[in-house]
Amino acid sequence: MSEPSNIPLRSDTQEAGPMRLVATLGLAGFFAGLLLVTGFVYTLPMIEANKAESLRVAVYQVLEGCAGFDQLGWDGQKLTTQLGTGVELAPVYLGRDASGRVIGFAVTTEEPGFQDIIRAIYGYDPTTDQIIGMEILESKETPGLGDKIFKDDAFRANFTALAVQPAIVSVKKGEKARPNEVEAITGATISSKAVTRLLQKGMEAWRQPILDFQAQLDPQGENTKSQ
Amino acid sequence: MNTPDGHWDVFVKGLWKENPVFVAVLGMCPTLAVTNTAINSLAMGAATLFVLFFSSLLVSLLRKVIAKQVRITTYIVIIATFVSLVDMLLAALVPDIHKELGAFIALIVVNCVILGRQEAFAASNRVGPALLDAAGMGVGFSMALLMIGVVRELLGNGSLFDIPVFGSSFEPWIVMILPPGGFFTLGFLLLIFNTVARRRATRSSIVTKA
């Protein structure tokens, strides 16, 4: 691949002084930076819109019949709909149906899988204390194996009515006996267990706050109107 | 033009005679890692082609400006810039494919096919041939990746571009979509490629003797 006739071309740059070298690299860095910032500014709104859109779609998928949702805040002690100073955004979304009735909560959570962090969102219904749907938001699990956590319908069926008490546990395929058990995917045990752990962690962190929030929203156990 | 070959030859050599994967055996990281499905192979090939094309354009344009001592650094800065751009563009325009390729987009920076072409060709040739060379090498690389991806997806998942091919009675060879499958497929394709190349060489030498 060598082109002997071209070697003399380089000789004119042979004696480049230090200033020239610094200038070359400085200019390269400057223009690279310029290009990158332009690209970043141009694509950022699209990337954020994509993320927001995939989250929005996922909330609708995990809460059946959902017509609208609000992200809740965490004020240090409890979940709140009042987002303001001293309140940080919680990974919890309050879902309502078309008539404004609260139908459940969607929670995002993450956990290391086989390759990288798996991010997921799941729907939780505090009235039945069950997980009612689960979608994977981000995963780099092995195509054909680990990616069955979001491609395999049999595995996904685990999450349509999954009891969260006493704890969500993973069992081998075909051995599900109790409502709190998740049947793992054969050949993708690590990914399946990661999903189980991820749900368990999400529930450990947010089950009680959600139950408290629900009780406060709905003291008589009646349906709550949208504010 | 600096090369004795015609324009067409500059382009075509990347496809077969100097194919970056099957002949030069460069860029093995993406070749083995993301070729588990045909669509991933295609996306990776296209992203590499984009980076290679624009890096060659800039390196060739600036070949008399870039001082020899810092040329590699400068090439890397140029390549890394286009890789970051391609990463952002994919995330913005085709989020699904971006999700599939994951970290491997960023790793195009260290794909030695790209740096290799800058040093071996773009740095010492005018813009026209440099672009043809980049296009040829990029297409050659994409073709090689696609060949591996098609074999691996067919055997490992029984599908092609996510469309089932063999029906439900087919038991997928899961190993083919796992890392070892990449080595098996690459090994077999290299064997076929080299056998064909050797046969051709023998035949042409017989022809010239006769």
Q: Where are the domains of chain B?
A: 7-149
Are the C-beta atoms of B71 and B124 separated by less than 8 Å? no
| pLDDT score, position A172 | 85
The pLDDT, as a whole number, for residue A1 is 46
Q: Mind listing the pLDDT tens digit for each residue in A105-115?
A: 999 999 998 87
pLDDT at A70: 86
Two tokens, residue A140: 């780099």
Which band of pLDDT confidence, cut at 50, 70 and 90, is reported for residue A76?
confident
Pick B120's closest partner by Cβ from A1, A142, A144.
A1
Amino acid at A51: K
Q: What is the DSSP string of B34-57?
A: STTSHHHHHHHHHHHHHHHHHHHH
Name the residue in chain A with its Cα closest to that of B84.
A36
The predicted complex's ipTM stands at: 0.73
> Span A72-84, mean pLDDT?
83
| Residues A207-227, mean pLDDT to the nearest whole number | 69
Confidence of residue B210 (pLDDT cuts 50, 70, 90): low
Lowest mean per-residue pLDDT among A79-88, A157-166, A204-213: A79-88
CB pairs < 8 Å spanning A and B: 100
**pLDDT-based confidence at A226, cuts 50/70/90?**
very low
Average pLDDT over residues B132-156: 91
Long-range contacts from A41-45, C-beta under 8 angstroms, 24+ separation:
A42/B92, A43/B88, A43/B89, A43/B91, A43/B92
Return the number of other C-beta atoms located less than 10 Å from residue B107's C-beta: 16
Residues in chain B closer than 8 A to A57 (CB atoms)? none
Measured CB to CB, residues of chain B less than 8 Å from chain A are: 2-3, 18, 36-37, 40, 63-70, 73-74, 77-78, 80-81, 84-85, 88-89, 91-93, 95, 99-100, 102-103, 120-121, 124-125, 156-157, 172, 174, 177-178
**pLDDT single digits (tens) A35-69:** 999 999 999 999 999 988 888 899 998 888 888 88
The pairing of strands A162-163 and A130-138 is antiparallel
Mean pLDDT across A85-98:
86
* Confidence at residue A88, expressed as pLDDT on a 0 to 100 scale: 85
Are A133 and A61 contacting, i.e. CB atoms less than 8 angstroms apart?
A: yes
Identify the residue with better confidence: B48 or A147. Answer: B48
Q: Is residue B31's pLDDT more than 50?
A: yes
What is the Cα–Cα distance from B132 to B50, expressed in whole angstroms? 13
The answer to whether A3 and B125 have CB atoms below 8 angstroms apart is yes
Q: Which of A5, A9, A22 to mutate to test the interface with B (most CBs of B within 10 A)?
A: A9
B177 vs A93 pLDDT, higher one: A93
Report angle CA A154, A156, A162 to the nearest 5 degrees: 110
Distance CA A176, CA B3 (A): 69
Please tell me the pTM assigned to this model: 0.73
